[in-house]
Amino acid sequence: MKKKFLCGAAVMAMTASMLFGCAGDSAEETTAAGKETSAEAGAEKETEAKEDAEKKETEAASGEKVKVTLLVTGSFGDKAFNDSAQAGMKKIESEMGDQVEVEMIEMGSDKTKFEGSMLDAAESDADIIITGLWDMKEITEQVAQEFPDKTVLLLGCGDSYVQLAAHCKDQLPDNVIAPYIDGALLDTLINKEKFYQLCDRYGIDHPATFIYDKSMGHDFTLPFGPPYIAKPADSVAYWATGVHALAKVYVCQSWEELLTALDQVYAAGYPDHMVLQEFIPGDDTYMRVLTNYSDRNGQVKLMCLGHVLLEEHSPHGIGNHAVIITEHDEALSLKIKAMLEDLHFTGFSNFDIKYDQRDGKYKAFEINCRQGRSNYYVTGAGYNIAKLLVEDRIQHQELPFLITSNRSLWRMVPQKVAFDFTPKRYHQEMKALIRAGADSHSLVYGRDAALKRRLRIWKNHLGNLKRFQQYNQKPEG
């Protein structure tokens, strides 16, 4: 069997979960990919993929297990990415033990030993090898070149990693695949100023917007009144300042507060424009999130709309989704689909949207050219995004187009927080979905019942209880 390297640009756990999604109906998050080369190379890969798939079928029929190796820099017990990757591998082992054989290797902190560990794994009988990318980038490239018969699947789980992968994908070895659009288009889409220009071109509504330049100082006027929204046009450059005092989004109740926020941002060294917008009235329940998958040919294949019931309101977490119920809106979905396909977008896209009760329109806030933080709501609804990637990019299947319609509940918080901080009008359906088993949480997995993991989940729950009590207000009705 042709071996595959999976090299996650941010979170190895997502790669481990992707493997589970290849053969199962549940996974935590994502990975996998592909890029187009010449027509001749594409035909070669198509034939190779078919032969590989046939061989896998034969092996599956004979009972031979797929061997998966996880390499982590450092060790387990970090309460972060390594532990999440380990949990994903345990999930594979517990639910697919008859099909998959798992090995997990801690490489420690001595970087001089990383390459040897990679080479040992490459020369072993492992069919799939998973590793991270921070310290492993150069080593992974070297190993990819040394083992040209293997495929490296490159994914980013944050804007800066995705941007790096999009700009560098054509410079990587031929057997490294990154499922992204070209760097120039990605730069356009993740820049909010340019994104709103595209929205205007494709008839997609967005909030009233003013583009602020540092040279304007305090000498400018806005065509709308408070409260004001202020956010960076270029979020990658914004967070690259390294100033933790900056807010993800500023909600300014007065003109003076807005000017103070702008002064703070530029004092931190941010070099680009700020986007100033009118505040669209409505609580968290007016928010929507639309996650899409576009195949290697630029055709949208899956669209899943989430009705946000609760968001974080902490300074650094503001806008992060905490509770979502999936819903269906064909008109909105088709409008977004038309733009994505005209741009020949490939891979995952994630839109933040708010319903404006004043005119009955959905207003787009931004696009993420990747799976979003809350994307497990899609898998929780029964549409495994990792499975889509594998079927499209690895197996080269022709996927059907689907706008999801079933209802499901996703949470990133314990049930107490979900019910305490969402309006009561949603509680009946939330309870019904929980009773029906149509409820998911990105961290909770009953079969992984190790004591340390349970304690860490409880710690997360307690942290959410404290954070929401501190920053969120309980709804009146």
Among residues 102, 10, 134, 14, which one has the least CA distance to residue 389? 14
Contact 438, 407 (CB under 8 A): yes
Mean pLDDT over the full length of the chain: 83
Instruction: Give me 408's structure tokens.
Output: 């499901």
pLDDT for the residue numbered 48 = 53
Contact 351, 290 (CB under 8 A): yes
Instruction: Give me 327's structure tokens.
Output: 């819903």
- Whole-angstrom distance, CA of residue 59 vs CA of residue 15: 23
pLDDT for the residue numbered 440 = 93
What percent of the chain lies above the pLDDT cut of 70? 83
pLDDT for the residue numbered 133 = 54
Among residues 56, 47, 40, 43, which one has the least CA distance to residue 2? 56
Q: At 305, which amino acid appears?
A: L
Among residues 305, 291, 287, 297, which one has the least CA distance to residue 370? 291
Overall pTM > 0.75: no
Question: Which has more confidence, 257 or 15?
Answer: 257
**Per-residue pLDDT tens over the stretch 127-186:** 777 766 555 567 667 777 887 887 777 777 778 778 888 888 888 788 877 889 999 999
pLDDT for the residue numbered 25 = 38
Q: Tell me: pLDDT of 412 over 70.
A: yes
261-268 mean pLDDT:
96
Give, in order, the Cα–Cα distances in Å from 445 to each of 26, 27, 360, 458: 11, 10, 39, 13
445-468 mean pLDDT:
88
**Per-residue pLDDT tens over the stretch 222-251:** 999 999 999 999 988 898 888 888 998 999
In the DSSP assignment, the letter for residue 247 is -
Q: Tell me: pLDDT of 120 over 90.
A: no
402-427 mean pLDDT:
96
